[in-house]
Amino acid sequence: MTRTTHDEAFPVIACNLEALDTAARSRYKDLVKRLRDAILDRSELPNGYAFRLEGIAITLPEVAEWMSMERLCCPFLSLQLSALGNQADWLLNLTGPEGVKTILDGAFPSH
């Protein structure tokens, strides 16, 4: 039987602002701005949001680069990127433990 610690059962919702060095932080800020600008719409999920991103405004590799940085500073988030067939838009799901919607609302406000 596997035992879970309190931390594994209840992830702490806290961002590690020191996870990125100065150069990476600059690139992160550029990517998050482009990501926000690419949001076409947002749908509520039980534990987060699904964002439809305009494929012309941000590329799949750029979203993946942002995701790799986001995982470092916000390890409580679950990130999932989907490209459906030949559709031009991407679907980004950001989910997490209870309380994560408040953080996502601040980072990605609805238009």
pLDDT digits (tens, 9 = 90+) for 16-73: 889 999 999 999 999 999 999 999 999 999 999 999 999 999 999 999 999 999 999 9
Q: How confident is the model at residue 15 (pLDDT cuts 50, 70, 90)?
A: confident
> Which is it for strands 48-53 and 90-95: parallel, antiparallel or unpaired?
antiparallel
Select from 30, 33, 94, 86 the least CA-distant residue to 55. Answer: 86
